[in-house]
Copies of this chain bind each other. A is one copy, B any other.
Amino acid sequence: MITVADLALKLEASFIGDGEVNLSGIASLNNAQEGDLSFLADKQYKNDILTTAASAVLVRKGEAADCPAVAIICADPYAAYIVAARVFYPEDDKKPGVHSTAIIDQSATVHSTAYLAPGVIVEANAHIAENVQIGPGCVIGKDVSIGKDSVLCANCTLSNARIGERANLQPGVVIGSDGFGNVRTEDGWVAIPQIGGVEIGHDVSIGANTTIDRGAIDPTVIGDGVKIDNQVQIAHNVAIGDHTAIAGCVGIAGSARIGANCLLAGGVGVVGHLEIADGVTVTGMTMVTHSIKASGIYSSGTPIMENGLWRKNAVRLKTLDRLARRVEKLEKSDKTNT
C-alpha cells in the first residue's frame, strides 16, 4: 500500500488530484479496480482511460484532462510503469542460505550471500558467486560457474558452462548438453565426443525449457545482453552477438554465427555454418538458408489463406518453373507477332 503522493515522489512526477489516495496494485485500464494504479502508454488505448476504475493513472501531460482518476504526470508513462511495478511487486529476493536438502560437493565454492533452494545439487568444482539465487531442483554440473546476482528458477540443468553476471534463467532451461554430432560408419552412427563448453555473457536472460548445447571442441558463445525466449534450441558452436533478441521456438543449427543487435522472431530456423550480420531482423517462421551480409529485414514463407484457395494456389507451386517457361515462350511469340 502506497499513497499517490509517495509514489509520485518515487517517480519524480507531479500529480493532479488527491495525493492521499491509497494504491495497492497495478492493472490495465480495462481491468483495474479501486486501489489499482494503471497507465496510458500506447495511444490505441486512449479511450479506455475514460471508463477506467483505476484509482490513479500514469499519463502524459496532455492526457490528464481525460483521466477520471488521479492523474500522475510522466514524460514516459511506460518507463514510469516499469519503475512502479517494482514498487508494488518487488523481486522475490531470497535470504542467503543453503537449504538443508541441497547437496553440494565439497570441492564446489558457494558464496555466503547465495541462496540455494531445496533439492539443489552442486557438483565438483562448481562456483556460485555473490547473491546468486538457485531455485528448487536445479542441477549445477561440475566446473560450472555462475556470475553474481544471477537468478535460476526451478529445475534448470547446467553443465560445462560459464554464466555471466545478472543472468536470469527460467524453469527447465538446459545449458551444456551434448551437441548433435555423429559420424556415419559401417556400424551406423558414432557419436563425436563433445568436449567444448558454453560461455554466456552478462545480463543474459533465457526462457523456459530453452536448450543450449556445449561446443564440439571450441565453445558455444552467447554475448552480453542477449535475450532468449522459451523453447529456443541453440546447437553446438553457435555464436550469438551482444544484445540480440531471440523469440520463442527459434532453432539455430550448429556453428551458425548470429551478429549483434539482431532480432529473430518466433519460430525462425537458422541453418548451420552460416553468418548473419549485425542488426538483422528475421520475421516469424522464416528459414535462413544462407548467410545474410547486410542489416535489414528478411523473410520467407507464404501468406495464410482460406484452405480452399490455399489448395488451389499451392498446387500451382509444383509447376511454377514450368509456368515461368510458358510465359517466356509467350513473350517470344508475342515479339514475333507484333
Contacts and interface: CB of A to CB of B under 8 A. Distances in A.
A66 to B, nearest CB: 20
B317 A227 contact: no
A137 B121 contact: yes
Interface string A288-321: 1110100011111111111111111111111111
A296 B300 contact: no
Interface stretch (A2-10, A55-63, A108-116, A210-218): A210-218
Contacts of A259: none
A287 B284 contact: yes
A136 interface: yes
Interface stretch (A12-20, A67-75, A78-86, A126-134): A78-86
B323 A182 contact: no
Given A231-B231, A303-B300, A316-B320, A174 B218 contact: no
Contacts of A307: 281, 283, 296-299
Nearest to A180: B229
A125 interface: no
A271 B251 contact: no
B188 A211 contact: no
A119 interface: yes
A281 to B, nearest CB: 8
A287 B315 contact: no
A266 B299 CA distance: 18
A208 interface: yes
A118 B103 contact: yes
Interface in A168-185: 168, 170-172, 174, 177-178, 180, 182-183
Contact of A247 (B180, B229, B324): B180
A110 to B, nearest CB: 16
A106 interface: no
Contact of A82 (B190, B247, B331): B190
A306 B311 CA distance: 19
30 contacts: A26-B217, A85-B193, A101-B101, A119-B137, A121-B154, A137-B137, A139-B154, A157-B172, A170-B174, A171-B177, A177-B230, A180-B227, A182-B245, A188-B242, A189-B203, A189-B243, A191-B227, A208-B211, A231-B231, A231-B233, A231-B251, A248-B253, A287-B304, A290-B304, A298-B306, A298-B310, A301-B301, A302-B302, A303-B317, A317-B317
7 tightest A-B CB contacts, nearest first: A85-B193, A297-B307, A157-B171, A188-B225, A177-B208, A249-B251, A180-B229
Given A137-B157, A180-B207, A189-B243, 19 more contacts: A31-B217, A99-B103, A168-B191, A174-B209, A180-B227, A182-B245, A211-B230, A230-B233, A230-B235, A233-B249, A267-B269, A284-B289, A287-B301, A299-B304, A303-B318, A316-B321, A317-B320, A326-B331, A327-B330
